[in-house]
Amino acid sequence: MSPETKDDYATERVAVIRPNVDDSTVQGAAAATDVEHSMGLLKSLKLYRHACLWSIFLSTCIVMEGFDNAFLASLFAYPPFQRNFGVAQPDGTYQLTAAWQTGLTNGVLAGQILGLFANGIIADRFGYRKTLVGALVACIGFIFIIFFAESLVQLLIGEIFIGIPWGVFQTVTTTYAAEVCPTHLRAYLTTYVNLCWVIGQFIASGVLRAMLSRDDKWGYKIPFALQWIWPVPLIIGIWLAPESPWWLVRRGRLEEAKKSLARLTTRNSGVPFNPDETVAMMVHTNEMEKELLAGTSYTDLFKGVNLRRTEIVCVTWMIQTLCGSTFMGYSTYFYQQAGMAVENSFSMSLGQYALGAVGTVTSWFLMQWFGRRTLYLAGQVVMCVLLLTIGCAAFAGKENVAAQWAIGSLLLIYTFTYDATVGPVCYSLVAELTSTRLRTKSVVLARNMYNITGIITNIITPRMLNPTEWNWGAKSGFFWAGACFVCAVWTFFRLPEPKGRTYGELDVLFENGVSARKFKSTVVDSIDGISRERVAEKEKALAEDVMVERVDTHSH
């Protein structure tokens, strides 16, 4: 067998890495893997119904963050807020300076970065439930700072502080969803996080649209106060939730992991399920990763095969910002700078977030048909075309009413495309492509790279749109179209397809250095041993080598 043939063969079928565990654990892991592959979507829903409900409940924390993020960006276009905190313009209107727009949005991101890095340590030590409860308690206190803020400096301090618990929400909810559900449900529950974002944004836009009739500071203070509604019921529910069995296995608490699995699954569901075998699969995967990894610290993210996985999850999350999604965050302000009236701009934003929710639900069906990688790449290509068109439409001028509505309509289509592809699929990819032992820290680092990228885009986007700065308006679409194209090129060459793979199989594919474009087609041998087909092929190759040696010996 030639070296070239061996290389080609390795991309089609790879052998599993066998950790140093007893035979019963290997057999149990193999049985659980076979059951997980054979269940399908409907059986998985039937068996893991409780896990789905708990994951959905914990992800509700993201609604809070989506609410305030959308609300803060929309405030830049809200007349009472502009009068109280903005600078008078020659035409008699008020505008918050681009520097303060940047400062407020980046203040939140700075707090999130702190919260994310702390979460990478705290969640690994104390578990997901306790970490979330602590973050929600902190939220209650920090909302006071925002509510009573009477200056931009006070508001900035409040946004920095409240960003810390939000950083916790961003990763714990995703990792919890990835760990409590089987292979066939991971994509739906991790992408549900994006739907929570959109729901929060929709509520914020609706509340602020309803407040347009008010002409005093209570028009923006009341929405701030509404954030106190969420924490208490969430604290009670999360305290009663089962802990992630994967986290318990990593801590060596196997009996507790079995009890957690019992709470996450449905008895008498008619679906064959053995908690001992499922825990054995988790133990097997954990031990396999122990042999591949030196440990579970942040430095281990950059060692060996994990370096590739770290690059993939970080860039995947950065693409969420680099593909031009900043337009959506500043949509209300953007619509006004494109020439729309205040009422119309808020109404368009409301429609935008409604379309975002529909797009996220649509992504669940699209992922089932096309997979993660294809959907992620196709979304970026379509968005690149839409951004180019928005840039071209800007040449019609602000006075052209038809062009204004055309730009607004294109941005709505862009939002739907984003929330049907890149927005939700990102959460599934990041949660699935990390190693289980380093998942919390991998997601933390990836989200922080997203936040750092967000800081950069938050510096330049207000300047692009603000009439007192660069005043590009809709012509900014050209810039983001270029960025989106670069992201699409990276996705084509570097992003693998995790659909239908267990975490153990993904470990094997990464360890064998399988090309991103061949992840989908490569066959992974069963966990309990090399398949009979593989053994037969090896025996045949060995026999051929022996025959060649005999011929060489006789010839001499």
pLDDT tens, 403-445?
777 887 888 899 899 999 999 999 889 988 987 778 878 888 9
Determine the Cα–Cα distance for residues 84 and 87; give it in Å rounded to an integer.
9
List pLDDT tens digits, range 162-202.
Answer: 999 988 887 888 889 888 888 788 888 888 888 888 888 88
Domain ranges of the chain: 1-16+503-556, 48-241+293-495
Average pLDDT, rounded, for the chain: 82
Considering the chain, what percentage of its residues have pLDDT values greater than 90?
A: 26
Q: What pTM was estimated for this model as a whole? A: 0.73
Give 229's DSSP letter: G
* Top mean-pLDDT range of 105-109, 233-237, 340-344: 233-237
List pLDDT tens digits, range 296-323.
Answer: 677 888 888 889 999 999 999 999 999 9
pLDDT at site 43:
85
Assign a CATH topology to domain 48-241+293-495: Growth Hormone; Chain: A; (1.20.1250)
One DSSP character per residue, 463-501 reads HHH-TTTT--GGGHHHHHHHHHHHHHHHHHHH----TT-
Determine the Cα–Cα distance for residues 232 and 240; give it in Å rounded to an integer.
13
Determine the Cα–Cα distance for residues 196 and 66; give it in Å rounded to an integer.
7
Phi-psi region of 400 (alpha: psi -120 to 50; beta: other; left: phi over 0): beta
Q: Which residues neighbour 319 within 8 Å (Cβ) at sequence distance 6 or greater?
A: 376, 380, 422, 426, 487, 490, 491
Q: Which residues neighbour 267 within 8 Å (Cβ) at sequence distance 6 or greater?
A: none
List pLDDT tens digits, range 241-286.
Answer: 999 998 999 888 999 999 999 899 887 767 777 888 888 888 887 7
Q: Is the pLDDT of residue 334 over 90?
A: no
Q: Is the pLDDT of residue 532 over 50?
A: no
Nearest to 310 by CA among 510, 110, 487, 18: 510
Are the C-beta atoms of 484 and 207 separated by less than 8 Å? no
Determine the Cα–Cα distance for residues 282 and 21; give it in Å rounded to an integer.
12
